[in-house]
């Protein structure tokens, strides 16, 4: 996909915008969605599930995968300058794809299904922009998106029932 870099200036520009700047806007929008959620305990629950999902996905699973399945980034392996700056760490799996698919799923489960479709579309665009920019392979974003999509379900499954019942009682 990154063989197209330099052939279409508008694609280069959009790739830079979606790979670099749109993630900040999506993150800020997600924080606002949590803040605007009705009920103090519902907001606490959303924050807790998001935080635990992020820590589990990024702090545990991705670190393990990086250790056992180190993958040079495309710009390192193919010796070119990427459209966006990135350090030469393992590209597998994509942390950006993991995080943005994770928040799309949390938005779907807890906040607003309509907004979740927008979050999903933005997660796809951010991920593809990072492939186009030369910092990821398609497999990186595929595995990252799967990890991000399943992590909230794993957290909900392992969360003690006493915590779930507390939030259920407080949110009623």
Q: Is the CB of residue 11 less than 8 Å from the CB of residue 2?
A: no
Distance between CA 34 and CA 45 in Å, rounded?
10
Residue with the bigger pLDDT between 39 and 48: it is: 48
Alpha helices in the chain (DSSP H): 9-16, 22-36, 40-54, 63-68, 74-77, 95-106, 113-132, 138-158, 161-171
Segment 126-143, tens digit of pLDDT: 999 999 999 999 999 999
Domain limits for position 17? 2-171
* CA 31, 54, 98, 77 torsion-angle sign: positive
What mean pLDDT is reported for the chain? 91
State how far the alpha carbon of 62 is from the alpha carbons of 33, 48, 49, 59, in Å: 26, 20, 18, 7
State how far the alpha carbon of 97 is from the alpha carbons of 25, 49, 102, in Å: 15, 18, 8
**What is the pTM for the complete model shown?**
0.90
* pLDDT reported for residue 45: 87
- Secondary structure letter of residue 50 according to DSSP: H
Q: How many domains does the chain have?
A: 1
pLDDT of 43 above 70: yes
Distance between CA 138 and CA 171 in Å, rounded?
40
């Amino acid at each position: 996909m990154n063989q197209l870099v330099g052939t279409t200036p508008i694609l280069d520009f959009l790739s830079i915008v979606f790979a670099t700047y749109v993630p900040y806007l999506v993150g800020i929008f997600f924080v606002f969605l949590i803040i605007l959620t009705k009920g103090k305990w519902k907001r606490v629950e959303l924050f807790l599930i998001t935080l635990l999902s992020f820590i589990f996905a990024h702090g545990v699973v991705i670190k393990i995968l990086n250790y056992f399945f180190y993958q040079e980034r495309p710009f390192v392996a193919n010796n070119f300058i990427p459209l966006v700056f990135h350090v030469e760490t393992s590209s597998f799996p994509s942390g950006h794809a993991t995080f943005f698919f994770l928040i799309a799923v949390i938005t779907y489960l807890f906040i607003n299904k309509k907004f979740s479709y927008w979050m999903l579309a933005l997660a796809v665009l951010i991920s593809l922009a990072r492939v186009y920019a030369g910092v990821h392979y398609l497999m990186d974003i595929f595995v990252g998106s799967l990890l991000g999509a399943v992590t909230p379900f794993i957290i909900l499954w392992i969360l003690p029932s006493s915590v779930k019942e507390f939030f259920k009682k407080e949110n009623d």
